[in-house]
Amino acid sequence: MAREIDPSLNRRRLRIELRKAREAKGQTQTEAAQALDWSLSKIMRIEAGTVSISVTDLRALVQLYGLTDEQLKTELEEAARGSRGLSWWTKFNDVLDPAFRQYLGYESAAASIRTYHPIVVPGLLQTEDYAMAMLAPRVDEARARRIVELRTERQERALEGDTPPWTFFVLDEAALHRQVGGPRVQRGQLQHLIDMVGRPRVSVYVLPFTASAHYATLSSFILLGFTDDEDLLYLEAQGNQSIRDDHELIVRYQECFESLREIAFSGDQAVDLISKTRDGLDTS
């Protein structure tokens, strides 16, 4: 599936360029708001990429910041026009909370996705049966079906197409042995992991039981990388937080992920471990 230009991507382009222009002008958000007789929250929402912006408001900001690059101004006006409308995940608003909606906007623009989970297979790698079994203890079947539909479309957008992002997954060996949905479902999930190892731009690692404790031993996390912005850290277990500005914390998780990749099984070694676990399941 091609990664079409979603309204959230246009809002993100505007966020980055307008913040950069304001900082180059030496103005604070408060000063910019006062100069245009806008509320501070309006400037903050525009620079957070959470709202669309009209061409008229964009031109006011362009004039205030003194942007003179005609090509850039044209591109920003096109982005402003494209910032309106609905994102692909809007049809799933009945099962989405605001924090995860915001995260999906970031994920749609990511050039790389690095994921670690200490307990189960991460959502982007789950089969439909595995995902349904994961949801069964917490939500009714109809809602679970909707969440799985969302997860499936998210997988297609993140893992397929001509130029999907580079994706790196570190699974704990415990996730291979935990029989979510029973032996048959788990066997299908493990086979899916094996199949994913051979996909372009996808790397699957398995952290063996013999590995020692590390910074994220008790929690999962996702790091999104961008070509035009700094990394973003997403912590699902801590209220679905998308963290951009705590650079020290992000660096800790970056270092953690790289250390996990160094000690985890990869390539044939990972496939051998997954295959051995799969073959040991009794599905009779």
CATH code for position 13? 1.10.260.40
**How far are the Cα atoms of 62, 78, 114, 136, 262 from residue 131, in angstroms, in the given order?**
46, 39, 20, 9, 29
Give the C-alpha separation, 19 to 41, whole Å. 14
User: Would 2 be classed as within a structural domain?
Assistant: no
**Domain endpoint, select from 18, 53, 82:** 82
Specify whether 40 is located in the same domain as 137: no
- Closest to 142 measured CA to CA, from 127, 132, 128: 132
Count of domains observed in the chain: 2
pLDDT of res. 279: 96
Specify whether 16 is located in the same domain as 143: no
Domain span at 180: 88-279
Give the C-alpha separation, 20 to 40, whole Å. 17
**Domain endpoint, select from 31, 64, 82:** 82
Specify whether 121 is located in the same domain as 73: no
pLDDT of res. 189: 98
Residues 145 and 133 sit within 8 Å (Cβ to Cβ): no
Report residue 34 as tokens. 């006062």
pLDDT of res. 223: 98
Q: pTM here?
A: 0.84
pLDDT of res. 4: 53
Specify whether 250 is located in the same domain as 123: yes
Specify whether 69 is located in the same domain as 106: no
Specify whether 75 is located in the same domain as 135: no
pLDDT of res. 82: 86
pLDDT of res. 62: 95
Give the C-alpha separation, 4 to 25, whole Å. 33
Ranges under pLDDT 50 in the chain: 1-3
Give the C-alpha separation, 232 to 243, whole Å. 6
pLDDT of res. 52: 87
Helix ranges, 5-163 (H)? 7-25, 29-36, 40-48, 55-65, 70-82, 98-109, 128-135, 141-159
Count other C-beta atoms under 10 Å from residue 148's C-beta. 21
Specify whether 260 is located in the same domain as 149: yes
